[in-house]
Every structure is written in C-alpha cells, then in structure tokens.
Amino acid sequence: MSNVKDFLWKENMSVKDLVEGMGHIGYQSVEVNNASNLIVKMKKDSAKIFLTFTSNMVTSGLRGFFAQLIRLGMANIIVTTVGAIEEDIMKSIGEKFLIGKFDDDDVELHEKGINRVGNLLICNESYMNFEDWIKPVLEKIYKKRKRWAISDLLKEIGLFLQDENSILYQAAKKNVPIFCPAITDGSLGFHLYLFQEKHKEFVVDPVKDFGNILLSTSFDEKKGVIALGGSISKHHAILCTLLNGGADYALYVTTAHKTSGSMSGATTDEAKSWGKIKDNSDVATVIGDTTIIFPLIMVKALEQLNEEHLLIKED
C-alpha cells in the first residue's frame, strides 16, 4: 500500500510527471498510472501487443495517434471494426469530420445529410467519396487475386494510401496485420457485396483470417492486450490469446459496466474464468472515456520508454 499524496502542479511538468502524480490521488487516477506502467512492462517483456479499438475512436482524433503507435512499434496486431477501416480511408483521402454537440437536433441533421457519432459529425458526402475511391481499388485488387483473407485485403488497401496518419497505411508499411472479423457490418461490407455480385469468384474469407490471427502468436510468446472499448474487436483478440495459452498482460479502458454481462463490460477477472487471461497475469482496468484516458496512459509510457532508449524512433 502507498499513501495518498496531494497533487501539485510544477512548472514544465511533463505528462510522465502528471500521470505519476495522479497515481497518488486515488480513485481512477491510480488506475491511469497503473495502466501506463503496465504498458511499459509489456514492452520491456517483449510481449506481442494486441491493440484493439472500436470505430468511434477512429472517428475521433485518436486515429492519427493509433497510426503513430504502429510506427513506434507499440502495436504488433490490430483488431478493430469495419467503421474504423472506412473512416481511416475517408480521412486519408481528405474527408473532414466536424465537432458538433451531443444534443444536436438529429432530425435536422438527417435532413442535411449529416450523421452523428456522439458529438462528432460525418457528412453523407464523405461516404459517397469513399465509394468513389474504393470501387477502382477493389477492381485492381481483384485483378491481382480472386480470394483474400480479410487482413491480407486490408494490407493491400493500405498500400494504396499515402497518408502517414493512416492506420491502414502504417500497418501495411510495418507489416502489422489488421483483423476485422465483422467486415460486412458497414459501408465497406455493402460495397464488397456489390462487387461480389458483379464478380462471383471474388471471395473475402473470414474463416481463413481466423487461422491468421491464431498463427500471429504462439503459446510460448508473451502476449499483451490493450483493449480500448469492447465489442468484437476486444473479444477477437482475447479469444486468440485463449487459444494460445492466455494473455500475460491486459489493459482495459471502458465506460461499460460488468453487470450488463456484455463483452464491453466484462472484466479482466471474468476473462480469467475463460482462460483468456492467465491466472497470474498483470492487469489494469480504467473506467472512463478513451479519448481522455488513453493519451495520458500512452504518452506517459512513451516518455518513460524514450528516456530508457527502448522506443523505436519514428521514420
């Protein structure tokens, strides 16, 4: 046990100093510091790091941060939902998302062709421009090969993007696989369906990709999971760790509650009951908004790793 200490501002305070100070305040502040220390442990232990996030986080300004983490070698495997893929592409081709309000008039927004994600706004025109971009890309991919595992398809799409802040582009460059098991659950899935109707021999194979994620790690490797939010992206990663002996490290950031019985609210303790996380694993859970929590957690870890010369320098 440690003592509660008063938090004091210091001139030229770094994020590392800030989060370390938060570690003595109490409540969730303690967990923020614990989570940051856990990421450092993962990296020092050469754990294979699964970074999982839902599409709403790519809607936000965290998208470029995720791409930067790939460049810095802080994520070895990505698991996400299809909205993240679409919106990463949209931003890469110049689409701009707006900051609105949580209580905007949604009927009025619909009449204007604007879609709301929390307090963020996406115009229908952005989806139209995405459609115009993805159609010729799929034609080129089809000419190269007829059958694709999802992660291979996403790597190929990433190679068409020339945006340093793109998750797909950086993952393709760094050979970091992106797994998206529910690829049909969005606009991209609809366009894949239309393309397959035109080209019957074109197949996007999710079962093949399940084998790919299982073979992306092994029973003997140290494994860490950073799960931002829940849903299928979180579960697909910890299912992989279950089938490979369980995760050695796990960090959850969520606003969901365990009483729902949902994957989003499921705790690291619940995961241990399944063997998804090892009994003796090092874990942390922070309850809060990822757009606030994750930059604090990760930047403090990056500063510490950089001080100890354990961080890959950016290109």
In the chain the domains, ranked by start, together with CATH numbers, are 46-92+131-293 (3.40.910.10)
Q: What would the pLDDT profile of 199-254 be if each residue is shown by its tens digit?
A: 999 999 999 999 999 999 999 999 999 999 998 999 999 999 999 999 999 999 99
3 C-beta neighbours (distance < 10 Å), count: 5
SS3 51: strand
Q: What would the pLDDT profile of 27-58 be if each residue is shown by its tens digit?
A: 999 999 999 999 999 999 999 999 999 999 99
Q: What is the pLDDT of residue 141?
A: 98
Q: What is the pLDDT of residue 264?
A: 84
CA distance 289 to 303: 22
pLDDT of 262 higher than 90:
no
Q: What is the pLDDT of residue 1?
A: 82
190-194 LR contacts (CB < 8 Å, sep 24+):
191/131, 191/134, 191/135, 191/138, 192/138
- Give mean pLDDT, residues 52-80: 98
Q: What would the pLDDT profile of 152-197 be if each residue is shown by its tens digit?
A: 999 999 999 999 999 999 999 999 999 999 999 999 999 999 999 9
Residue 146 CA: distances (Å) to CA of 5, 83, 210: 61, 24, 19
Q: What is the pLDDT of residue 263?
A: 86
One of 276, 278, 300, 313 is an active-site residue; which one?
A: 276
Determine the Cα angle at 176 with ends 187 and 179, to 5°. Answer: 35
Task: List b or e across 182-193, with b for residues whose CB sees 16 or more CB atoms inside 10 angstroms.
Answer: bbebbbbbebbe
Q: What would the pLDDT profile of 282-315 be if each residue is shown by its tens digit?
A: 999 999 999 999 999 999 999 999 999 999 887 6
Determine the Cα angle at 247 with ends 180 and 72, to 5°. Answer: 65
CA distance 52 to 41: 18
CA distance 29 to 34: 9
96 is catalytic: no
At residue 25, what are phi and psi to the nearest 5 degrees?
Answer: -80, -45
Q: What is the pLDDT of residue 207?
A: 97
CA distance 166 to 78: 13
Assess contact for 304 and 16: CB atoms under 8 A: yes
pTM value is: 0.96
- What's at 181, amino acid-wise? P
HEC sequence for 250-291: EEEEECCCHHHCCCCCCCHHHHHHHCCEEEEEEEEEEECCHH
DSSP, res 171: H
| 279 φψ region: left (φ > 0), alpha (ψ -120 to 50), beta (else) | alpha
pLDDT of 14 higher than 80:
yes
